[in-house]
Amino acid sequence: MTIKYTPDHEWIKIDGNVGTVGITHHAQDALGDVVFVDLPEVGKTYAAKDAAAVVESVKAAADVYMPAEAQVLEVNEALRDDPSLANSDPLGAGWFFKIRLANPADLEAFMDETRYTAFAADAH
């Protein structure tokens, strides 16, 4: 299983043509306490960079973008019930949605953890 990171501070855990998407530690730090999430519709297909979900915190609201063309397979109902999971466990229980990628090779251009860490440090 591979994890890639987008310039918009989402992560995607890739397993074949299925990906699990969430926001990074950097994103949840910048947002502050997450109080609401609006998750995408299961079965809907999105183009790359489409806004697929919304995360709202006490400070701001932000879109969560689809990293590549994909169909939503599942959403994290536990996150809908407890949005603070995006803060307490953003790379685990705080995932947002699972997708079937149209072309998994589209993700090869995204950053690995080392590159993303440097990118996020520069974003401060």
pLDDT at residue 124 tops 70:
no
Residues 63-76 pLDDT 10s = 999 999 999 999 99
Cβ atoms of residues 37 and 96 within 8 Å: yes
Q: Give the gyration radius of the chain's Cα atoms.
A: 13
Position 1 confidence tier, pLDDT thresholds 50, 70, 90: confident
Q: What is the pLDDT of residues 7-31, one digit of tens each?
A: 999 999 999 999 999 999 999 999 9
**Structural domains of the chain sorted by starting position, each given as residue range(s) with its CATH number in brackets:** 2-122 (2.40.50.100)
- Of 45, 34, 35, the closest CA to residue 23 belongs to 34
CA distance 111 to 8: 11
- Does the pLDDT at position 58 exceed 80? yes
Predicted TM-score of the model (pTM): 0.95
Residue 123: pLDDT above 80?
Answer: no
Which pLDDT does position 31 carry in this prediction? 94
Burial 58-75 (b: 16+ CB within 10 A, else e): eeeebebbbbbbbbbeeb
